[in-house]
Structure 1
Amino acid sequence: MAIRDTVAKVKLRHWQRSVEPKAHRFPDDLLTPKRLLVCLPSGLRELTLVKQFLPAITYLFKPADITLLTAPGVRVSDIYPRKGFQILSPSTDQLTWSGLPRKSYLKLLREYKFDAVLDLNLQATVFTTAVLLNFPEAIRIGCGNIPGRPFYNLEIKTKYLRDERNIYRSLLETLGVIMNRRLDALRPAGIG
């Protein structure tokens, strides 16, 4: 396992050095994405929490087409509604032996022409990092509580360290403030 992690990290460092980020105008560019990729976490608890915030994500980024990207090997079709979302679930043959997405899979993702990527992982993964690094033109948004993630254009730090629900809520509420969208619409149903 250590060799796989080492190879993946070396490859990611190489990709990171070759990425030239594009300058963005905030909040203007946040208000105009046509296609949004949402990188879902791999844990069942986090997936359940994120599901509660899908209406808020839809509200924030409307009228963008939203695609949900699962972690490799994670199936969410029985958890997540297909209505209004496309769900991409990479299979093992779309990964290298080190866990990185194959070039063919990254090419497939690039064909969608995502102009915004929202990373909802609270732990860094080599798969999601590779996906983020392969969209240098897109606005890449993520939680800034974890050091060593220099591949976001917009990092949102929250005061919460371990409370996933409040981390997600804070992330989306901050986006709402930046985007000048009403905060009360960001409350998922049943959560006060």
Structure 2
Amino acid sequence: MGIADYIAGSVLAHPTVRQVELAGSRARGTATELSDWDFHVFVEDFGHIASDLPELARPRNPLAAQWDPLGDVASYLLIFPGPTKIDLLFPDVPRRSNPPWRAGPDTLAAMDAHFWDWTLWLVSKRRRGMTDRVRGELLRMSRHILEPLGIPSVPPSLEEAVARYIRARDRLETRYGLRLPRQLEQEVLPLVHYRPSGLAS
């Protein structure tokens, strides 16, 4: 069983879940090899499933598991080795976007997970030739993650965003006496530096 099928099946088996539907490019048949797996999840009791999701995913050892800080509906974002990105979206649970991150020793790990999740998603958009979308998201990423890390200008490319992010994060790790795990970075970073010919960043 693939990891996407495992997660979808585990969520569907939860007593409060009514339905799990494949959505997005995977459902439309337009996905690339890096496209995320989007699942719409319809529930009777969101609070119940929300508290149980970490345990449902834990047996497959996700590299990152987080609630999307910027989604307009509640979305639980998972990344597994491969990398494979799985987003569990709750269309009936609207939410407001969080404000930009505040960098600190208590938030740096969550910022790191958010950055690499966002970067992997942008890599998949770039693979599909969506360069305007990538540029727009780099502006948004700059406001929400890079500026709070002390990076004042919008990076001109995804590669430059990653380079600036790593330098800033490493400086803050030294300042705070931290060392974050690097497994997620090691999965995503090689993909940032690969592009099929003819696609610009």
Report the TM-score, using the length of structure 1 for normalisation.
Answer: 0.31
**Structure of higher CA gyration radius:** 2
Q: Which has the higher helix share?
A: 2
Report the TM-score, using the length of structure 2 for normalisation.
Answer: 0.30
The structure with higher relative contact order (CA 8 Å, sep 6+) is 1
